Structures are given as structure tokens and as C-alpha cells.
Chains A and B, each alone.
Chain A
Amino acid sequence: MSKTIKQIIIILVLSVIIGFIVNVVNPKGIPLVMDMKRYSTEQSDKLKEDFINNPYDTSKKDASLMQNPRLNKEGFVDPQNIKLDFAKLLYDRKALFFDGRKPEEFATGHIKSAINISYVEFHKKSKEEKEEMFKGYNKNGIIVCYCDGGCEVSIDLAYDIAKLGFTSMNIYQGGYQEWEKAGYPVEK
């Protein structure tokens, strides 16, 4: 075996061992497998079906999309990942759409009537400031967060808002790119 390959193997083995040990000790350590729930859109069709069978006017301020919102271990209701078709249905029912991108990106084009809540700015705010910001909103109302598509800010924004006690957070990961491609209403 050549000297270089031996050295590469030694460095790799050392990195794997130290990496795993530090991850176990590190309070910010992560599980070996990523939380699929955060990205999975498997539930989208079922959610859409439930929504169609149980018509709900998103403009009403006193009802929740979910019949029994279930709190997770951390004490908030997990946001749901939804696909384009369900996002459009919620849009038609006047659900609130939050765009998590930066204002300059929002200005280049966004889903019609969406509200820009730049996650870069939002995540810097204290919990009190965030609560103050969402004071006027119905905590049970349907909210859909999106960003450009294939980005994380929509997910992070939805989770942050859910942690404030909002029970019907949805993440539309297809984002602005997919929405615009589908020919659905946009504003520029």
C-alpha cells in the first residue's frame, strides 16, 4: 500500500473516531440519522384529504385546522410539510403565506399577498419580540411558510412560529420557484 493511501486512511480513521466521540459529548450533538419528519411530505395528501372532507374557512378566527392539535415533547405542535396542490388549496382558502427570504429576494417576486418575514432577521429577535410581532394573529389559523425552494428558512421559520403556540403551521418546500413555474398567482 502506498504511503499516501496509508496516511489518508489514518487521517480518516482518526477523524471518524474523534468525530463520533465529540458528537456524543457535545451538548449540540446530532443524531446519526436526520429527523425525516422535518422534510417528509408523506402526510401532505392525507392532510389535504382531511381538509377537503372537513371544510374549514381559514378566514374565520376561531377554529383550528387540526381537530386535536398534538403537542410534541418540546411543547409545540409540529409544522406539517405540504405539497404544491395542497398549498394552492390553502391559498384559495385564504390561508396566510409567510415568505422567509430576505427583503431583497422577496422584492424580486413572491406568492401574491404573501407577507415577508425574513428569517435572517426573525431568528435574531428575542421570544418577547417574536410574540409581540405575532400579537394580532390567530394562533389556530392556517399559516404556510415558504422560501425559494430547496432552502431551509421556510422550515426554520415555521418551527420558530410554532414554538410561539401556533397550531397550524405548514411548510411548503417547493417554494416560490415551483409556485411560479406552476403559473400560480405571484407579485413582482
Chain B
Amino acid sequence: MGKSRISGRKIKIKTMRDLLSNKYVQFILRIVLGGIFIYVAFNKMVNPEEFAKAIKNYEMLPLQLINIMAIILPYIEFFAGLFLLIGFYKKGSSAIVILSLVMFIIGLTSAYARGLNIDCGCGFTSTTQESATKTDLLVRIFEDILMLICAVIVYVFSEKKKEPEPVQQNENQIIKGEI
């Protein structure tokens, strides 16, 4: 009874792992994440000055560092998004996407907690000078958490670990004289 329940759970976990590492699921997740990152990065690249102001609104970075961040960050997002999209450096690009999203979530949550009225420069609908209300911030935090989950799935399951092939193992064992 107990054994069958455990093996049932193992099968479920295996099925879930198979589903998440399925190449089509991975492909869709990469396309969605990569597309969003490229789109959002492009908005920031076009007008670095506005993006710098958006970073400044968080009041989390010293003024001296804001412009450098505004110059570099959109390109980090762009290349991470592009590489995810084309399936190149999947581990590295998804790790960068995860780190960026964690950073955005911390920034947004902190802005929400401090009651800052900001343009976060982070969402699909983000337009410069449109200050975000508290509800907008919550929506953006939720968006980012969803994307973070997708990015973690890509990171963890993008490269399927090869299970040892039983036939080969047997051959090895035969060679070693264990069988």
C-alpha cells in the first residue's frame, strides 16, 4: 500500500519534470520571457534619460551610479532576452533574467512599502512620466513574480540531465566482471 503510494508520487514528480523539461514547454517559456525582456529593454534603450529618472525614483541607488545603470541595464536585459529567445547560453541568460527579476521585485516591493509614487520603468505598460499608483505597483510585482517562476523553470529544466543508460551500465559491469 505504502510502496504503491510512494511510487505513485514518484511517477507524478517524474511526469511533472518531464512536462517542465519538455522541449515545447521550454521553447514557449523562452519565447515569452525573451520577447518580454527584449520589448522592455528596447523601451529603455530608446530613452535612457527617462529610464535614469525612473531608476532615481526608487531612491535606492546613489545619484552617481544611476546613469551608468541606465546605460547598461537595458543591454543586459536585451542580450539575456535575445539569448533566451534563440536558445543560446540558456543557463546564463535565464540566470540573468532571474537575478534581474529578483532585483525588480525587491525594488518594487520596497517602493510599495515606502508609499513611493513612481514610474517603475519595468512593465509592459510603463510609460514615462505616468506615475504608478499603488495598485499598478502590485500588478507589476505580480507580473514579475509570474515571470520569475517561468525563468526558474527555464533555468532548472532547460538542460535535461541524461539518465544513465541501463544497457551500457550492464556492459560496464560485465567488463568489470561484476555480473
- A interface, CB within 8 angstroms of B: 3-8, 10-12, 14-16, 18-20, 22-23, 26, 28-34, 36, 39, 101-102, 105, 119-120, 123, 147-153, 156, 177
- Within 8 Å CB of A177, what residues of B? 115
Question: Which residues of B come within 8 Å of A, CB atoms?
Answer: 45-49, 52-53, 56-57, 59, 63-64, 66-68, 70-72, 74-76, 78-80, 83, 89, 91-93, 95-96, 115-119, 129-131
Q: In the bound complex, how far is the Cα of B54 from the Cα of A34, in angstroms?
A: 13
- CB neighbours (8 Å) of A150 from chain B are 57, 59, 116-118
Shortest beta-carbon distance from B38 to chain A in Å: 13
Q: How far is the CA of A10 from the CA of B83 in the complex (A)?
A: 12
Chain B residues within 8 Å of A15, by CB: 72, 75-76, 78-79
Which residues of chain B are near A8, meaning CB under 8 Å? 92, 95-96
Most-contacted residue by chain B among A4, A16, A20, A36 (CB, 10 A): A4
Tell me the bound Cα distance from A34 to B75 in angstroms: 19
Q: List 29 A-B contacts (CB under 8 A).
A: A7-B89, A11-B76, A11-B89, A11-B96, A14-B75, A15-B75, A15-B76, A15-B78, A18-B75, A19-B72, A23-B48, A23-B71, A26-B48, A28-B47, A28-B48, A30-B49, A30-B52, A31-B67, A32-B68, A34-B63, A34-B64, A39-B63, A119-B129, A148-B131, A150-B57, A151-B118, A152-B119, A153-B129, A156-B129
Q: Hey, which chain B residues are within 8 Å of A119, CB to CB?
A: 129
How many angstroms from the CA of A29 to the CA of B83 in the assembled complex? Answer: 25
Given A123-B129, A152-B129, A7:B117 Cβ within 8 A = no
Q: Which residues of chain A have C-beta atoms less than 8 A from B70's C-beta?
A: 30
- Name which residue of chain B comes closest to A149, CB basis: B117
- Do A33 and B96 have beta carbons less than 8 Å apart? no
**In the complex, what residues of B have CB within 8 A of residue A105's CB?**
117, 131
Query: Beyond A3-B91, A149-B117, A152-B57: 18 further Cβ-contacts under 8 Å?
Result: A6-B92, A7-B91, A15-B72, A19-B71, A23-B48, A26-B48, A28-B47, A28-B48, A30-B49, A33-B68, A39-B63, A102-B131, A123-B129, A150-B59, A151-B117, A152-B53, A156-B129, A177-B115
In angstroms, Cα B64 to Cα A23, docked, is: 17
Residues of A within 8 A of B89 (CB): 7, 10-11
| Complex interface: chain A residues within 8 A of B95 (CB) | 4, 7-8
In Å, the complex CA distance between A17 and B40 comes to 20
Interchain CB contact under 8 A, A12 and B64: no
Chain B residues closer than 8 Å to A36, beta-carbon distance? 63
